[in-house]
Amino acid sequence: KNQVEQSPQSLIILEGKNCTLQCNYTVSPFSNLRWYKQDTGRGPVSLTIMTFSENTKSNGRYTATLDADTKQSSLHITASQLSDSASYICVVSARDTGRRALTFGSGTRLQVQP
Amino acid sequence: GAGVSQSPSNKVTEKGKDVELRCDPISGHTALYWYRQSLGQGLEFLIYFQGNSAPDKSGLPSDRFSAERTGGSVSTLTIQRTQQEDSAVYLCASSLDSGSSYNEQFFGPGTRLTVL
């Protein structure tokens, strides 16, 4: 069964600090992995997509890593800002079509405090 | 419009009433998805459309839930005889098509449904 597990479930950090969110998956055959950011009361927005051959990808202060061998991904946030407070969802796609392609993690809720 | 829109943004209804939720996908997107997100929980897949067809309805929690899509565009999710456990945020997403796992799903802001 395809599964995506995220940790921690929630995290509180001070503004300006760095943090790393984790995503472990068992999805086969693997196609790609996305990190989404979901602000409170809004729909998720894609931050980055990673394919099998990519190890690291950055989007501003967000850096995602992927280890396809261990089936782990991380999202590192540098110099956190109050606006980073949100839920971060890891979504893994299998080489399939339709909805069966996607497996969603339950998310990490990040709170950045001043 | 520039993005996926949903209406209403909030809906409060009494137990036993029917509700209709609407989704307007991004123009040109042939795939449309409905998800449910309960408080503090992850996204739960409900149904997806490729064009006007729904190849996979397996996520619908009961026969009280139904969805349709007309003209390959607007979709409505209908919940009949609502129950308190139906209270959640209902999210709609669209993508270019469902044939490639690389196609990003763009999400709407959701409809928050509260069943009293």
Residues of A in contact with B25 (CB under 8 A): none
Share of chain B above pLDDT 90, in %: 70
Better-scored residue on pLDDT, B107 or A96: B107
Residue A112: both structure tokens together: 């950045």
pLDDT at A101: 64
Residues of B in contact with A47 (CB under 8 A): none
Give exposure, A70-94, as e/b (b: 16+ Cβ within 10 Å): ebebbbebeebeeebbbbbbbbbbb
What does the pLDDT average to over B35-54?
A: 88
pLDDT at B5: 96
Cβ–Cβ contact B105 with A under 8 A: yes
A85 SS3 class: coil
User: Out of A45, A99, A107, whose CB is closest to B42?
Assistant: A107
What does the pLDDT average to over B89-94?
A: 95
Sign of CA dihedral A41, A43, A45, A51: positive
Q: Which of A51, A52, A97, A111 to mutate to test the interface with B (most CBs of B within 10 A)?
A: A97
What does the pLDDT average to over B69-97?
A: 94
Question: What secondary structure, in 3-state letters, does chain B show?
Answer: CCCCEEECCEEEECCCCCEEEEEECCCCCCEEEEEEECCCCCEEEEEEEECCEEEECCCCCCCCEEEEECCCCCEEEEECCCCHHHCEEEEEEEECCCCCCCCCCEECCCEEEEEC
Give A49-106 pLDDT, tens digit per residue: 999 888 999 999 999 999 999 999 999 999 999 999 999 999 998 876 555 567 889 9
What does the pLDDT average to over A29-48?
A: 92
pLDDT at A100: 56
pLDDT at B72: 84
pLDDT at B113: 97
Share of chain B above pLDDT 70, in %: 97
pLDDT at B103: 80
Q: Are strands A56-59 and A62-67 parallel, antiparallel or unpaired?
A: antiparallel
Cβ distance of A49 and B45 shorter than 8 Å = no
User: Out of A45, A89, A93, whose CB is closest to B101?
Assistant: A93
Q: What are phi and psi of B11, to 5 degrees?
A: -140, 120
Residue B58 pLDDT class (50, 70, 90 cuts): confident
- Those residues of chain A whose CB sits closer than 8 Å to some CB in chain B are 31-32, 34, 41-46, 49, 51, 89, 93-102, 104-107, 109
